[in-house]
């Protein structure tokens, strides 16, 4: 979760309904302490860099934060996922990575898979909108 899960609600009901065993919360500006302190989270942080194993055996680096960044660690190859902006900050494709708003309000109010993000970035690259240069 990239923050703002309960939008200031003091209840933890939204967290209890989440699927999965290893839930990560990257804190947002609207997450109340009651939600942050739940034991349902495997980890709570403000920023996270993670390397994930892909189905083809390759690895991808993810940079996760609630807020979008103009430049992030390994921007040429890594994927930066964020929320907070409700689609107002456009995605950006780099040579082999990019930046994408992963908020549910941008994706028909559903969680997205990393494979969808990669396809989305590939479409941006094919359209010629990738940003070359030093990030």
Domain positions in the chain: 1-45, 47-135
Residues 30-59: tens digit of each pLDDT: 777 766 776 678 888 999 999 999 989 999
Residue 49, class by beta-carbon neighbours within 10 Å (0-12 exposed, 13-18 middle, 19+ buried)?
A: middle
pTM: 0.85
- Give percent of the chain above pLDDT 70: 83
């Amino acid at each position: 979760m990239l923050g703002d899960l309960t939008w200031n609600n003091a209840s933890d009901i939204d967290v209890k309904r989440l699927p999965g065993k290893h839930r990560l919360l990257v804190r947002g500006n609207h997450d109340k302490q009651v939600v942050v302190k739940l034991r349902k989270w495997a980890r709570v942080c403000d920023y996270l860099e993670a390397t994930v194993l892909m189905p083809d055996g390759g690895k991808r680096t993810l940079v996760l934060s609630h807020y979008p960044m103009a430049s992030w660690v390994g921007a040429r190859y890594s994927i930066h996922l964020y929320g907070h902006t409700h689609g107002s900050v456009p995605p950006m494709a780099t040579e082999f990575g990019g930046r994408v708003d992963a908020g549910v309000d941008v994706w028909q109010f559903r969680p997205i898979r990393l494979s969808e993000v990669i396809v989305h970035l590939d479409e941006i690259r094919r359209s010629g909108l990738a940003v070359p240069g030093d990030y």
